[in-house]
Amino acid sequence: MAKRNQKKVSKLTIQEQYQSCPRANLFKRLGAYIYDLFALAAVLMFSVIFALLVVIIFNNMGLINLDAYKDIADYLSQSSAFAVYLAMVIIGFYAYFWTKGGQTIGMKAWRLRVQNSDGSNISFTQALIRLATSAFGLGNIMALLKNRNAFQDLWAECEVIVLTKELSSWKGFKGMGFMDEDKK
User: Once rounded to an integer, what is the mean pLDDT over residues 23-51?
Assistant: 95
Given a contact cutoff of 8 angstroms between Cβ atoms, the answer to whether 19 and 120 are in contact is no
List the beta strands (DSSP E) in the chain: 112-115, 159-162
Taking the model in full, what pTM does it have?
A: 0.80
**Domain ranges within the chain, ordered by starting residue:** 23-168
pLDDT in tens, 58-75: 999 999 999 999 999 999
